[in-house]
Amino acid sequence: MCGLLGLICPTENAAQQARSAVAEALHCQRHRGPDEAATWQGGEVVFGFNRLSIIDLEHSHQPLLWGPPGEEGRYALAFNGEIYNYIELRAELIEKYGAQFNTDGDGEVIVVAFHYMGAAAVSRLRGMFAFMIWDSQRKVVFGARDPFGIKPLYYAVGQGGLAMSSEKKSVLELAPTLGVEPKLDRRALQHYLILQYVPEPESLNTHVRRLESGTSFTYSPGGELVTERYFVPRFRPRAMHGPADATKLHADIADALRDSVAKHMRADVTVGSFLSGGIDSTAIAALAKEHNPDLIAFTTGFERAGYSEVDVAAESAAAIGVKHVVRTVTAAEMMESLPLIVWYLDDPVADPALVPLWFIAREARKHVKVVLSGEGADELFGGYTIYREPLSLAAFEKVPGSLRGIMGKVSTRIPEGVRGKDLLRRGALTLEQRYYGNARIFRDDQLRQVLRTYSPAVTHADATAKPYRESAGWDPVSRMQHVDLFTWLRGDILVKADKVTMANSLELRVPFLDNEVFRVASQVPLEQKLTRETTKYGLRQALREIIPGHVLNRRKLGFPVPIRHWLREDMHGWAVDIVRQSQTDHLIDKQAVLAIIEEHRAGVLDHSRRIWALLVFMIWHGIFTEGRIRPEIPEPQYPVKL
């Protein structure tokens, strides 16, 4: 787990002159890899790297140079992530091709596999990754991002070449070298206010984009960036003909997850685990305990009743026999820390859960260097309660389209907050119209009230149309899962997981988001995902012998943060001050925002998520556009090395 930065210039002379600029741009992502920092220049390419040493600690330095006999140093690699099947892949490369290795690390396996297998090597990698390989003989850069988008890769292209990095901040610092002038992307802003995150491949700055998950690229100096999708997830439920088939499915799920956790435990440093009150993280911690008897589990929570899973997590920790560390977060800490966290995010993400996650990551880094977590289980196995919506709206599907249109118009006349209004409104819509992920922040009518730059042409369909086309003919739940893999998972869940842990120089691994686990999960039929009583039914059955009984059938709580209450109490004045001081009048109707804050405080309606989204954006704007807010960025210093 590290931070990479690459600059591919039109000429070798330009690359030589840009090396100092790359070294400076590398510094702002030092938190991603405080153990080592290095730059390398060869031909038209400059690579920079910040290393967080996890595997082969004394070697595997990057940028890594490799070549077959007689072509030593032909390739240069910059790689962020972990390849969990590197041991097996290394053995295969030696046996099949007689490959020679200079290190015991996982990064070298990538470049060696690329030499012998070409672009097809990417599909053989089981892990999380973003990498760039410079082939000095062919004068071309090849790179890729992992199938689910666990690790980020930002880029910008200009007359000065191509810049790619794990952090957008580094790309922005190289903008003058590239000859581009990134500005706020108003289209991306509207997407953010709809979704609570900026969907890939956008960023909130023009010219700066993200390589999409499951995508590879090639680029030659002075040429065009060419991308190709190498992984498209497909849900193909297997037929079930009786109890024996169900038992076999549950065994396959358990075996795949156990194998994934075993490989995710590969490290030359100490590995811990995050632990909430749900089945996903509990299963990961229980399986990790099989490989590390001294496993430490980390939980965060709040003092407010109904907003903490600490007690359940403590009971789970005791049941599976792991040491338990708890970090309680207060409203004051959230307010104080938010500007710094937004700086680390690069782009705003209006998920309040990322703030307590930042605190528990900071606590965990005092004890370990790597943690496992349960992200991805809900998307793969059908864990969100909203996936039941097609069942509750099934009756509406039989209503003729013209009548459903009338229903939709009727819903607009029902006052906000009246029971049944939203059900009627959503029942009048098709699946493609109504479902665009777990977070639905501003509707069109609400956007018109606050966004001065509102455009009716910018909708959630910009992010969901392609996944819906790819999933045509699937059952509604599988289609919702497919949409989430390309929107909610990679736009919110994985962004906050990567950014706030790496802010604390902590590597986070997600065993559910594994090639083999997905292969099994993609075969789970609808009746094994959802029942009238529960979600993730098949996964729960697979985990019966792995996790404690008190967690197995517990209702999903998610990761609730009490901002609804705090924005009426402790955070009210703080929120008002952020709005009043913000220099976003040309973008946001601040008086309308203040009115929403007061309406929320009075208890008329719950506007907490919308208010939070606006506050996070205004803080982001204050940092990256106005330069008015300047968080003090701490130097990465930690008491624990292993």
Q: Give the residue from 550, 582, 599 where a domain finishes.
A: 550
Q: What is the DSSP string of 396-439?
A: GGGS-HHHHHHHHHHHHHSPTT-TTHHHHHHHTS-HHHH-S-S-
Domain assignment present for 92 = yes
Q: Where are the beta strands (DSSP E) in 244-357?
A: 271-274, 296-301, 323-328
Is 28 an annotated catalytic residue?
Answer: no
Residue type, 442: F
Helix (H), strand (E) at residue 618: helix 608-624
- Mean pLDDT (the chain) is 93
Q: 242 among the known binding-site residues?
A: no
* Pair of tokens at residue 263: 């490989």
Position 557 confidence tier, pLDDT thresholds 50, 70, 90: low
Selecting among 2, 99, 451, 493, the annotated active-site residue is 2
Per-residue pLDDT for 392 more than 90? no
Residue 357 Rama label (left phi>0; alpha psi -120 to 50; beta): alpha
433 vs 154, more confident: 154
Same domain, 192 and 314: no
Span of 229-243, 409-423, 536-550, 620-634 with lowest mean pLDDT: 409-423
pLDDT at 638: 58
Rounded to the nearest angstrom, the gap between the alpha carbon of residue 437 and the centroid of all alpha carbons in its chain is: 14
Q: Please, which pLDDT band fits residue 513 given cuts at 50, 70 and 90?
A: very high
- Using the 3D structure, point to which of 229, 254, 273 is the last residue of a domain: 229
36-50, 67-81, 411-425 — which is least confidently predicted?
Answer: 411-425
What is the share, in percent, of the chain residues with pLDDT greater than 90? Answer: 83
> Does 475 share its domain with 403?
yes
Comparing 378-382, 394-398, 448-452, the range with the smallest average pLDDT is 394-398
Q: What is the pLDDT of residue 56?
A: 67
Kindly give, in sequence order, each residue whose CB lies less than 8 Å from that of residue 584, ignoring residues fewer than 6 positions away: 590, 617, 618, 621
pLDDT at 527: 95
Nearest to 299 by CA among 325, 320, 323, 318: 325
So what's the pLDDT on residue 474?
Answer: 96
Task: Count CA atoms closer than 13 A to 346's CA, side-chain side.
Answer: 30
pLDDT for the residue 77: 97
Confidence of residue 408 (pLDDT cuts 50, 70, 90): low
Q: Is the pLDDT of residue 1 over 70?
A: no
**444 & 533 share domain:** no
Segments in 321-374 forming alpha helices (H): 331-345, 354-364
* Shared domain check, 463 and 569: no
pLDDT over threshold 90, residue 185: yes
Same domain, 144 and 182: yes
- The token pair at 367 is 């004890």
- The percentage of residues in the chain with a pLDDT greater than 70, rounded to a whole number, is 95
Is the pLDDT at 62 greater than 90? The verdict is no
Is residue 40 within 8 A of residue 66, CB to CB? The reply is no
Identify whether residues 475 and 389 lie together within a single domain: yes
325: its two tokens: 């560390």
For residues 599 and 530, state if they share a domain. Answer: no
pLDDT reading at 559 higher than 70: no
Residue 148: is its pLDDT beyond 80?
A: yes
Per-residue pLDDT at 585 exceeds 60: yes
Same domain, 498 and 608: no
The larger pLDDT score, comparing residue 314 to residue 416, is at 314
| Mean pLDDT, residues 57-82 taken together | 92
Give residue-wise pLDDT tens across range 360-372: 999 999 999 999 9
Q: Count the neighbouring beta carbons within 10 Å of the beta carbon of residue 510.
A: 24
Q: Which of 363, 370, 362 is nearest to 291 (CA)?
A: 370
- Looking at the domain assignment, is residue 71 inside a domain? yes
Does residue 640 fall inside a structural domain? no
Structural domain containing residue 390: 385-485
pLDDT of 397 above 90: no
Angstrom distance (rounded) from CA 429 to CA 396:
9
Query: What would the pLDDT profile of 330-355 be if each residue is shown by its tens digit?
Result: 999 999 999 999 999 999 999 999 99
CATH number, domain of 528, equals 3.40.50.620
For residue 479, the SS3 value is helix
Higher pLDDT, 51 or 407: 51
In a domain, 83, yes or no: yes
When pLDDT is averaged across residues 362-385 and rounded to a whole number, the result is: 96
The residue out of 184, 205, 229 marking a domain boundary is: 229
Which of 406-410, 501-505, 542-546 is predicted least confidently?
406-410
Same domain, 210 and 300: no
Reported confidence tier of residue 234, pLDDT bands at 50, 70, 90: very high
For residues 375 and 412, state if they share a domain: no
- Mean pLDDT to the nearest integer, 72-85: 96
What pLDDT shows up at residue 254? Answer: 98
Using 50, 70 and 90 to split pLDDT, how confident is the model at 639? Answer: low
Is 306 annotated to bind ligand? no
Return the ∠ at Cα 538 (arms to 534 and 539), rounded to 5°: 90
Number of domains in the chain: 4
- Confidence band of 387 (pLDDT split at 50, 70, 90): very high
pLDDT tens-digit readout, 284-299: 999 999 999 999 999 9
Q: What CATH number should be reported for the domain holding residue 108? A: 3.60.20.10
In a domain, 395, yes or no: yes
The answer to whether residue 638 is domain-embedded is no
Q: What is the model's pLDDT at position 491?
A: 96
Q: Rounded mean pLDDT of 72-95?
A: 97
In whole angstroms, what is the distance from residue 310 CA to residue 301 CA?
A: 6
Average pLDDT value for residue range 60-80: 94
Determine whether the annotation assigns residue 143 to a binding site. no
Residues 6+ apart with CB under 8 A from 633: 340, 343
In a domain, 238, yes or no: no
Determine the average pLDDT of the residues in 450-471. Answer: 96
Q: How high is the pLDDT of residue 437?
A: 87
Beta strands in 120-277 (DSSP E): 127-135, 140-145, 154-158, 161-165, 209-210, 215-219, 226-229, 271-274
Same domain assignment for residues 509 and 572: no
Confidence check: pLDDT of 322 > 60: yes
Same domain, 10 and 105: yes
Cα–Cα distance, 590 to 474 (Å, whole number): 43
Range with lowest mean pLDDT among 59-73, 188-202, 210-224: 59-73
SS3 of 157, please?
strand
pLDDT at res. 518: 98
Give CA–CA dist 621/60, Å, rounded. Answer: 39
Is residue 637 domain-resident?
Answer: no
